[in-house]
Amino acid sequence: MTPRSEIFEVLAKVCADPMGYARAWKTRTGRRVIGSFPMNFPSEMAHAAGALPLIIQEAEDPITAGHGLLFPFYCGFTRSAVDQAAKGDLAVLDAIMFGDHCVQLLGAADAVRVALPDTRVIFFQLISSMCDPWTLGRSKESFEKLRFELEDFIGEPVRDDAMRASIALFNRGRQAMRELYRMRVEGRVALTAREMQYVVKSSMVMDRAEHLELVEALVASASENLPQPEKRAVRLHLSGHFCQAPKPELLDMIEGCGAIVVGDDLYHGYRYISTDVGEEGNPMDSLARWYLDRNTGVPCPTRVQNDVDWDAFLLDAMRKESAEGMIVLMAKFCEPHMYYYPEVKEAFEKAGMPHLLIETEHESMALEHMRTRVESFLELIKRRRGVARANTPEGEVA
């Protein structure tokens, strides 16, 4: 069995250079690579078309060539994606597909088209109102149009049985990753937030069968040499960051202050793997259903749904994870997050649940300043623990 350290070495390498992985895969297989933007493109469709589906990632590089193409007050993810297009870093992609989950993404789509005139950019619109009687039908229509565009691009039909096989493979991948999440919350595996990010982020890039093998090996070897968790470490939930992975050094800093991350709803985390697609029947029906179910499973502030609440979901998730506090990671200029955050704040204050907002940036982050805030936040939670213990009747275990 591949040792855990070797598995993480592979995953970390993919995360550090997604386009390098894609280039090597393309040379090895001679097949197409289809890029997509977060968060709603069903990668199963591109996989069923014989391509490598790759979710475009925010790059580490400073933004230079892309400066003139997008406003500086757009989020780091969109600016980085446009910058990568302008620098030619996305040249490995045969096509790019994206839906319209926010205004900034729409702007980025146009800028990418300008920067890559020879690359097929396929745009699809998904209904954002999630609980109308016509939502399911309209979602299916959008995915059918997307399939039509994809078939036009590859020059042949994408067969239903290929779609079902891809859906089954992706489901197995999501299930294996969710098992790691379950094991982490139950203390059956020691995984840092950085390692969990490697697991999920690499799944957005790698050949899915190859990735599945590695994750299943991680699950199988999880209980070996399990380090004892630090008893006084504060159990945290991380929330936010819809389109880009939080910088690993930020995650290290948070855990280095005396916390363990036990759950999250990050896109490069549980949000991405939360929901499986039905494996029976018409795959387009299943994808449309998946689109709706995902928003019930982990609500997204870019969608509108009257009968689910992101804040209620967060409080419930934290109860299940026995999390003692939440750190909200908000990408600077992310409008959907900024609009919704006041509701989360109000709900958490009402519930008496501690949370800390950290705004993140593409360019640079004052980690030392943030460390002070995180340390104070964790200290506050530890004091609450002390108060709770003092108020526990004698003889009861707090």
Q: What are phi and psi for residue 327, nearest 5 degrees?
A: -110, 125
**Residue 21 near ligand SF4 by CB under 6 A:** no
Nearer to ligand SF4, 170 or 340 (CB): 340
> Using CB under 6 A, which of the segments 97-105, 283-291, 354-362, 388-396 binds ligand SF4?
97-105
281: phi > 0 → left, psi -120 to 50 → alpha, else beta; which? left
The window from 13-21, 283-291, 334-342, 366-374 that contacts ligand SF4 (CB under 6 A) reads 334-342
Contacts of 95 (CB under 8 A, 6+ apart): 32, 34, 35, 119, 120, 121, 122, 153
Residue 75 or residue 323: which is nearer to ligand SF4 going by CB? 75
Residue 188 CB, shortest distance to ligand SF4, in Å, is 33
Strand partners, 340: none
DSSP 59: -
Question: Is residue 336 within the footprint of ligand SF4 (CB under 6 A)?
Answer: yes
Instruction: State which residue, 101 or 184, has the beta carbon closest to ligand SF4.
Output: 101
Minimum Å distance from CB 110 to ligand SF4? 14
Q: Is 344 in the site for ligand SF4 (CB under 6 A)?
A: no
The only residue of 100, 213, 335, 375 in contact with ligand SF4, by rule CB under 6 A:
335
65 secondary structure, DSSP code: G
Q: Which of 197, 275, 302, 305 binds ligand SF4 (CB under 6 A)?
A: 302
Residues numbered 226-265 forming contacts with ligand SF4, rule: CB under 6 A: 242-243
Shortest CB 268 distance to ligand SF4, Å: 12
* 334 counts as binding ligand SF4 under rule CB under 6 A: yes
Q: Which stretch binds ligand SF4 (CB under 6 A): 12-20, 72-80, 175-183, 273-281?
A: 72-80
Cα dist. 145→49, 154, 291, 323 in Å?
15, 14, 15, 42
Check binding of 331 to ligand SF4 (CB under 6 A): yes
List, in sequence order, every beta strand (DSSP E) within the chain: 33-36, 52-55, 95-99, 120-124, 234-240, 259-264, 325-331, 355-360
Smallest separation, CB 146 to ligand SF4 (Å) = 19
**Residue 295 in contact with ligand SF4, rule: CB under 6 A:** no
CA distances from 290 to 42, 163, 169, 364 (A): 9, 14, 15, 36
- Closest residue by Cα to residue 19 from 92, 78, 77, 121: 92
Question: What is the contact mask toward ligand SF4 in residues 75 to 94, using x (rule: CB under 6 A)?
Answer: x-xx----------------
Question: Of 148 and 339, which has the nearer Cβ to ligand SF4?
Answer: 339
272 touching ligand SF4, by CB under 6 A:
no
Q: What distance in Å separates the CA atoms of residue 263 and residue 270, rounded to the nearest whole number? A: 8
Q: What is the DSSP letter of 143?
A: H
Segment lying near ligand SF4 (by CB under 6 A), choices 28-36, 71-79, 92-100, 177-185? 71-79
Among residues 265, 240, 263, the alpha carbon closest in space to that of 334 is found at 240
The Cα diameter of the chain in Å comes to 73
Least Å distance, CB 128 to ligand SF4, is: 12
- Using CB under 6 A as the binding criterion, the count of chain residues that bind ligand SF4 stands at 15
Residue 75 Cβ vs ligand SF4, minimum distance, rounded to whole Å: 3
**Strand ranges across the sheet with 355-360:** 259-264, 234-240, 325-331, 355-360
Using alpha carbons only, how large is the chain's radius of gyration in Å?
21
Tokens of 210: 């190859």
Distances (CA, A) of 282 to 144, 148, 172, 243, 289: 11, 15, 19, 29, 11
Q: Of 40, 80, 84, 104, which one interacts with ligand SF4 (CB under 6 A)?
A: 104
Q: Which residues bind ligand SF4 (CB under 6 A)?
A: 75, 77-78, 101-102, 104-105, 242-243, 302, 331, 334-337
